[in-house]
Structure 1
Amino acid sequence: MRIYMQTKPVAAESPRYYEIVLQQDLLGGWTLYREWGQQGGRTSSKREIYLERDDAIAAFTQARDAQVKRGFLVVFSQGLEAPHVR
């Protein structure tokens, strides 16, 4: 599963982005990758490992919802249903 989100661009600044990727590893575990930053600028990333699929999906959903609440808009999603935005 993968989601790419962006903020709306402000006059002179590049938009900020947040990408979340969930992948199953070869041993049956799940890895949640997060990358964020300003396009064309410095970025940060984080990796979390989960043993259970349900825990990994819950973390993925929580990360997505937190960024939507912060004003990020979903630009691209792959491998999951459309995000539920309130």
Structure 2
Amino acid sequence: MKQIFIVEDDAGIRELIEYLLISEDYQVRSFPTATDFKEGMSKGRPDLILMDIMLPDGNGLGYVQGPKQSRSLVTYSDPAYVC
């Protein structure tokens, strides 16, 4: 089963996306903050990341094109969509 990580601070949006993906038989882990996402990445890598740009404790876009320490979390081989 494919695993998808959702990083979204708005609980309503996060829960809706999670519901839709679970109903399509994806394994989903969701995180409300960049800090929680970092912890989740240390426990396993997903097949896809859906990430909000404006998070309360970080910029989602920075994980894709930011400083080297952030890029180590999300590599170019990791499919990531920043919304």
User: What is the TM-score with the length of structure 1 in the denominator?
Assistant: 0.29
Higher strand share: 1
Higher helix share: 2
Which structure has the larger Rg?
Answer: 1
